[in-house]
Amino acid sequence: MELGDNQGALQDSNIAIKLAPESDSAYNNRGVVRFNSGDKQGALQDYNKAIQLNRKNATAYYNRAEVRYGLGDKQGAIKDWQLAANLHLEQGNTKKYAEAIEKINGM
């Protein structure tokens, strides 16, 4: 995949989901592609599905916070960044924990 090839990345993500429909990572990855393509609603749907499949997916909460913030849902974004921070801390990822806390403090 070439850098910036969102259409190809979207096709790859769709194939990954078709092959592994219970993969939270596949939905999260497609959410990233959709977000980068400007499809915030599509990204939000994918992050919601990733979280539904795995409530411990800290990255999906963080990414959903970014979308919510971009859509003007600041309270929803704060809630998701806090959940992401807590999960990252539980999972021992102090760098990602600090990034989520920094987002909250920067609001």
In DSSP notation, 15-73 reads HHHHH-TT-HHHHHHHHHHHHHTT-HHHHHHHHHHHHHH-TT-HHHHHHHHHHHHHTT-
Is the pLDDT at 1 greater than 90? The verdict is no
Residue 3 has pLDDT above 70, yes or no: no
pTM to 2 decimals? 0.91
Is 104 exposed, middle or buried, given 0-12, 13-18 or 19+ CB atoms closer than 10 A? Answer: middle
pLDDT of 21 > 70? The answer is yes
- The CATH homologous superfamily to which domain 6-105 belongs is Tetratricopeptide repeat domain (1.25.40.10)
For the stretch 44-77, pLDDT in tens is 999 999 999 999 999 999 999 999 999 999 999 9
